[in-house]
A and B are shown apart, each in its own frame.
Chain A
Amino acid sequence: IVLTQSPGTLSLSPGEGATLSCRASQSVSSSYLAWYQQKPGQAPRLLIYAASSRATGIPDRFSGSGSGTDFTLTISRLDPEDFAVYFCQQYGSSPYTFGQGTKVEI
Chain B
Amino acid sequence: EVQLVESGGGLVQPGRSLRLSCAASGFTFDDYVMHWVRQAPGKGLEWVSSINWISDTIVYADSVKGRFTISRDNAKNSLYLQMNSLRAEDTALYYCAKNLYGSGCFDYWGQGTLVTVSS
Please give the residue numbers on chain A whose beta carbons come within 8 Å of chain B beta carbons, in ascending order: 32, 34, 36, 42-46, 49-50, 55-56, 87, 89, 91-92, 94-101
B26 partner residues in chain A, CB cutoff 8 A:
none
CB distance from B89 to the nearest CB of A (A): 16
Q: Which of B44, B50, B109 contacts A43 (CB 8 A)?
A: B109
Q: Are B104 and A91 in contact (CB under 8 A)?
A: yes
Number of A-B pairs whose CB atoms are under 8 Å? 57
Q: Are A95 and B104 in contact (CB under 8 A)?
A: no
A32 partner residues in chain B, CB cutoff 8 A:
103-105
A100 partner residues in chain B, CB cutoff 8 A:
44
- Give the docked Cα–Cα distance between A1 and B34 (Å): 21
Would you call the interface of chain A mostly helix, strand, loop, or mixed?
loop
Please give the residue numbers on chain B whose beta carbons come within 8 Å of chain A beta carbons, in ascending order: 44-47, 50, 59, 61-62, 95, 100, 103-107, 109-112
Q: Which of B47, B106, B111 contacts A46 (CB 8 A)?
A: B106
* Given A43-B95, A43-B110: A49 and B47 interface contact (C-beta under 8 Å): no
CB distance from B105 to the nearest CB of A (A): 4
Q: Are B103 and A101 in contact (CB under 8 A)?
A: no
Q: Are A49 and B45 in contact (CB under 8 A)?
A: no
Q: Which of A34, A91, A98, A101 contacts B46 (CB 8 A)?
A: A98
- Give the docked Cα–Cα distance between A99 and B46 (Å): 9
Among residues of B, the one whose C-beta sits closest to the C-beta of A87 is: B45
Among residues of B, the one whose C-beta sits closest to the C-beta of A30 is: B103
CB distance from B40 to the nearest CB of A (A): 12
A-B contact list, 25 entries, CB within 8 Å: A32-B105, A34-B106, A36-B106, A43-B111, A44-B95, A44-B109, A45-B109, A49-B100, A49-B105, A49-B107, A55-B100, A55-B107, A87-B45, A89-B45, A89-B47, A89-B105, A91-B103, A91-B105, A94-B59, A95-B59, A95-B61, A96-B104, A97-B47, A98-B47, A100-B44
